[in-house]
Structure 1
Amino acid sequence: MGGKSSSPPAPPSPLLSKPWREINWNDKQGTLQNVNAIRPKTEGQVIRILLHGLVGAGKSSFINSVNSVLQGRMYFPATVASSSIDSCTKKDITINTFFSMCGSQQITHKFNNGNQDTFYHFFINETMGLRNDCSRSNRNNHVRDIEKALKGHVPEGYTFNPERRLSMDDPFLNLKPSANDKVHVLVFVIDPNKFSQINEKAVETFQDIREEAIRLNIPQVAILTKIDEVCPESQQDVKNVYKSKTLKEKMMEVSTRVGIPVNCIFPVKNYSEELELNSDTDALILSALKHILQLGNDHLNNHYA
């Protein structure tokens, strides 16, 4: 007997029916005011953020994106490194780049708040990127150097050398770091597209650095970059970020392998090809920045106020 052929079942949707995390998409100015209001209790103190991640994970792009959102226009002072070459941020003398140096050096960025003479109450430190295939001795040197950076011992312009760790006997070492020299929140910058393929030894290096931060009572956060590449639905509409099943799985994977709680992991879309800002992209960046600053400010006020 003939009959109607049944249609194949529709493939499952890559999106959840509703977002599993809520953020404010519609009040950029209010969020900017909240960011500006996060400041240490002690006059003259700033929140220092340290970015860490593999080469090409998006550290410089995140700094550029934060700067663009805060300035209200596209702003690209730092040269972004490709994952296929050594990490390098080129020297570019601008009012928004403080002690910017070339190569794998200690770089500190501060950000204008309205005019050239006032700044937000935080710095972002950018250090050398970790290579996925580096040797055990290089990884050990890397961990020890990042430990010293967390403690505020690494001077501006210091060139990291994976073949030789920074020694406490080095004459230029900052032996008496102030509260402003020390790091108040550690941010792992991770490319979710490549995280599953990261060498287990590199992940152990992340864990070792995280353990040093825990020992120093420094809070840790993870930023997931390039979300539009891992989730086409987020490329079509950034607001799908917390509906994406794939991105939630990636966040869970990072949490499991590195040890960072999911509520301290924030997906962002860095600006790369765009010529104009997008309010939804801005909302993701500002949401991550606000939580980073709150954690860093709590640490600073609890330990140095």
Structure 2
Amino acid sequence: MDGKLSQSDKEQLEDFVGLGPRRFTLLYSITRDGCSSATFHQRCDYQGPTVTVLYNQQGSVYGGYTSASWSSIGTTTRDDKAFLFQLQFSGSSRPNKFSITNTAYSIYCHASNGPVFGGNAGYDLNCFSGTINKSGAYYQLNGGNSFGTNYSMSGVSSWNGIHNGNLQVTELEVYSVCVQPSTTSASTGTDDKECEAWGRHPEFGDELRQELLQEIASMQPYSELKLQEYRVLLIGPVGAGKSSFVNTVCSAFRGRIVQRATCGDQQHSFTKSYQAYNVKTQKNAPLHFRLCDTRGLEPDLGINMKEFDYLVNGHFNAESSISLEDKMFVVKPSLAEKVHCVVFVLDASTLDKLDPGVIIKMKEFVKITARGNTKQALLLTKIDIADNYVKESPQHALSSFAIQDVVVKASNMFGFPRYSILPVKNYEEEAEMREDVDILALLALRKILHFAEDYMDGILNDRGFGAESFLYSESDDLALETEAASESA
């Protein structure tokens, strides 16, 4: 779906933004994705510059632009480049740009709201909050407008001259707005001097690398839960780079190329059984997380759905002969034995060639993970093969349109929000350490551990803490008893 925004309106918006040709990529559409603040944030948070466009039954088209990223943190965001706009009024072209006058209140970001422009004394354009169901041919948005509070609405006397006096929209779309690739640039169409990163990040360098190493080294589970470490499960097709990621993370912390996990190219998985790796610093101090490597997924081989369910929920720390009758089977796993974040690993260079049987299996695994509220992320490896521009320097992955396209494909294929899709380049051919390889891996690892922390937050908020027994419920016992009976039958 390309969206409703016409080419002439895109060109008008390019003129309003004033930075040359733009590339418009549809992130969110209420007719496609549902009118929900949760879905809006899932698809639009941390995507860089965006334009929000509303369409009504009278043929009016209007909205707002921000160069800042949307988020769910519950605060206003400063953006001196933000503006509101009008493109069409009652079916006729009427281009108007309404510049920001109070940059401290350019946009308001909150998990309960959709796009909101303005803040403090009033929201100039507040689209909606919560979930809005379609009413006949339109959606009756429940936001509102405080005319001219933080934006200059010169040339229009009231909001009635923009949206015909109602918030009954037939569509609301959010597009990412990036630099349009040049026909004379490198193979990916990116322009080194001009390209804005679709994955926002601090400036790469040793300072960032050291900050990430220190921050990750300081991370550990909440003391109330009495856990020693986060448990992260890596799962993906044969050759995707799960074991290589383990080695890359270990290398980043040891300061030298490390080969803890066995890896290589072959038809079937190099990893033959479940392996849990701890990671240590240069001073041999253990960190508070464990990376659990698994056999590569194949259509008819490797882990099946039942085995995966048992692994994620801590019933079994192995991958073969998993059975309720096995003496190693844990009937009532503790929180320490459960997986806190599942990381699916895919080869970015071969995503289009992924076996249909593996796709089906992975989608089922995604459902199983979500059902238990375990957090999940998707790691994109071999980005240097997917894009020669990235091969020059892995940090270009965050400004490469080729990698951005792979992220979008992976998101559409498996339903992951884009902020949870993490590009990395593993150590494979290198004989020496590379700062940019370390930083990409550490950025991904930090986000994965944040997701594991979110899982812990859910445990504390939903069930309280104290006795170990809260980690397992009577309904879990009943489910296992039922399964045991069916197996014996």
TM-score range, shorter chain: 0.7 to 0.9
Shift in Å at residue 114 of structure 1?
4.3
Q: Quick check: 1:160 aligned with 2:320? A: yes
Indicate which of 36, 45, 64 corresponds to 2:247. Answer: 64
Equivalent residues in 2 for 1:101-250 (5 A)? 103=272, 105-116=273-284, 118-131=285-298, 134-135=299-300, 142-155=304-317, 158-160=318-320, 166-250=322-406
Normalising by structure 2, we get a TM-score of: 0.53
CA displacement 1:174-196 (0-9 Å, x = unmatched): 22222111000010100011111
Distance 1:46 1:10 in 2: 49
Q: Distance in 1 between matches of 2:355 and 2:429?
A: 29
Query: Could you tell me how far apart the structure 1 residues matched to 2:346 and 2:332 are?
Result: 32
Q: Does residue 1:85 correspond to 2:267, yes or no?
A: yes
Measured after TM superposition, the shift of residue 159 of structure 1 is 4.5
Letter in 1 for 2:293: E
CA distance in 2 between counterparts of 1:85 and 1:239 reads 30
Secondary structure (helix, strand or coil) at the match of 1:154 reads coil
Contact 1:38 1:294 in 2 (8 A): no
- Asked if 2 retains the 8 angstrom alpha-carbon contact of 1:55 and 1:81, the reply is no
AA aligned opposite 1:190: L
TM-fit CA distance, 1:113: 3.1
Q: Distance in 2 between matches of 1:237 and 1:37?
A: 28
1:283 partnered with 2:435? no
Q: Which residue of 2 aligns with 1:94?
A: none
Q: Deviations over 1:4-62 (max 9, x none)?
A: xxxxx954652152211222312111111111222111244311000010011000000
TM superposition score normalised by structure 1 = 0.83
| Whole-Å separation in 2 of the counterparts to 1:108 and 1:180 | 13
Secondary structure of 2:336's aligned partner:
coil
Number of positions where the alignment pairs a residue of Structure 1 with one of Structure 2: 270
- Choose which of 209, 219, 230 in structure 2 pairs with 1:28: 209
Q: What letter corresponds to residue 65 of structure 1 in structure 2?
A: T
Distance 1:10 1:130, change over 3 A: closer
Aligned CA distance change for structure 1 residues 252 and 233 (closer, same or farther; 3 Å):
same
1:45–1:179: 8 Å Cα contact kept in structure 2?
no
Contact 2:209 2:438 in 1 (8 A): yes
1:47/1:300 contact within 8 Å kept: no
Q: Give the distance between the partners of 1:228 and 1:128, measured in 2 at CA.
A: 24
- Name the CA distance, whole Å, in 1 between partners of 2:452 and 2:183: 46
Residue 289 of structure 1 and its aligned partner are, at CA, apart by 0.3
Instruction: Show CA shifts across 1:262-293 (max 9, x none).
Output: 11001000001112111111110110000000
Amino acid at match of 1:33: Q
SS at 1:194's partner residue?
helix
Aligned to 1:6: none
The answer for the alignment partner of 2:190 in structure 1 is 15
8 Å Cα contact 2:386/2:402 also seen in 1? yes
Shift of 1:219: 1.1
The CA distance in 2 between the partners of 1:53 and 1:160, in whole Å, is 17
Identity %: 28
Inter-CA distance 170–70: structure 2 relative to 1 (3 Å threshold): same
Distance between the aligned counterparts of 1:30 and 1:217, measured in 2? 30
Q: 1:45 to 1:302 in 2, by over 3 A?
A: farther
Work out whether residues 128 and 160 of structure 1, in 8 Å CA contact, stay in contact via their aligned partners in 2.
Answer: no
Superposed displacement of residue 81, structure 1: 3.4
The separation in 2 between residues aligned to 1:286 and 1:68, in whole angstroms, is: 11
One-letter code aligned to 1:258: F
Cα distance in 1 between the residues matched to 2:336 and 2:196: 42
Residue 46, structure 1, aligned to residue 210, structure 2: no
Match in the other structure for 1:95: none
1:270 paired residue number: 426
Tell me which protein shows more strand as a share of its residues: 2
Cα distance between partner residues in 2 of 1:255 and 1:159: 28
